[in-house]
Amino acid sequence: MIPDVDNDSIVYLNGKHVRLGDATISVLDRGFIFGDGIYDVVPAYNGKPFRMDGHLARLERSLAAIGIKVDFQRSDWEALVFDMLKRSGLGDCMVYLQVTRGVAKRDHAFPANAAPTIFCMVSPFTRPGAQAREQGLSAVGIPDIRWLRCEIKSVSLLGNVLAKQHAVDAGVDEVLQFRDGFLSEGSSCNIWVAKDGKLLAPPRSNLILEGIRYGFVEELASQAGIAFNARPISQQEVDAADELMLSSATKELLPITTYNGKPVGGGKPGPIYAALRAGYDKAIAAL
């Protein structure tokens, strides 16, 4: 029995459907041995995937970036997501997709003949509630100790795991990571800065995972008539921000109202957050 999960939920593993509690992989799976694999997380509302095309395009980019070839076309991924959503019977949920380089004798170099391991599970998801939306989250700044290919959604997440545990140990909700004095991202989310009525975010690069919400929030800003600029953001600019926000599939878009123990702006969610949040909720409602 795995605690805190629905052991009876059905997962997909290499073409088979099995109980989560019964699903197993080899100890020589390269995902287990080397963290040699990639993943993606597609949110669904009322059983309908949100921005699935973007998620599947990123999944394909991640696979290509680490040279894993899977005999799956885009339509196969879509069919898998829809089928797993249907089987789950869940409304608001997360579809987790993972591909590793497969099972092989332990050797760092790519194996000649390993078949990739393909895994999919669907988990229930509760949308961020009034407390998080209205009071906002707390965060602290830390150095970004991760590798230089953060644009790949790799399952090698030790840097992200340590970053999130830093937040837990510090008694805050999230961390803001800085590389060479410039903002990169949160432990598993993108970060947004508002200053003088304008929205800023670190540029798309190898130093961040470009969230599917990155492009979405950009669209929401444009619809709301908010100027957006993607450029390097210094630690000092974050300290002086009017508003801070984070975005991810699981956190949607949330304000950060306490940073390094101090209130951000007025210590309350600001007007740019409110405008973007309204657009976000409208898009979900229209699904």
Residues with catalytic annotation? Answer: 153
Q: By C-beta, is 103 or 277 nearer to ligand PDD? A: 277
Residue 156 is a binding residue for ligand PDD (CB under 6 A) = no
Number of CB atoms found within 10 A of residue 22's CB: 11
Residue 201 is a binding residue for ligand PDD (CB under 6 A) = no
Residue span binding ligand PDD (CB under 6 A) among the ranges 10-18, 73-81, 117-125, 246-254: 246-254
Q: By C-beta, is 174 or 265 nearer to ligand PDD? A: 174
* Integer Rg of the chain from CA: 19
Residue span binding ligand PDD (CB under 6 A) among the ranges 2-10, 109-117, 187-195, 273-281: 187-195
Options 88, 138, 188, 258; binder of ligand PDD; rule CB under 6 A = 188
β-strands 117-124, 174-179: how paired?
A: unpaired
Residue 179 is a binding residue for ligand PDD (CB under 6 A) = no
Ordered DSSP codes for 76-109: HHHHHHHHHHHHHT-SSEEEEEEEE--B-SS-SS
Site string for ligand PDD, 29-58 (x = CB under 6 A): ------------x-----------------
Q: By C-beta, is 104 or 207 nearer to ligand PDD? A: 207
Residue 211 is a binding residue for ligand PDD (CB under 6 A) = yes
Q: How many residues bind ligand PDD (CB under 6 A)?
A: 14
CA 55 – CA 36 distance, rounded (Å):
19
Residue 276 is a binding residue for ligand PDD (CB under 6 A) = no
What does the DSSP 8-state code read for residue 114?
A: P
List the structure tokens of 202.
């670190």
Measured CA angle at 266 (ends 261, 270), to 5 deg: 110
Answer whether 154's CB lies under 8 Å from 146's CB.
Answer: no
List the structure tokens of 53.
């095309």
Options 98, 100, 160, 257; binder of ligand PDD; rule CB under 6 A = 160
Q: By C-beta, is 194 or 212 nearer to ligand PDD? A: 212
Beta pairing partners, 199: 194, 228
CA 40 – CA 33 distance, rounded (Å):
20
| List of residues contacting ligand PDD (CB under 6 A) | 41, 160, 185, 188-190, 209, 211-213, 247-250
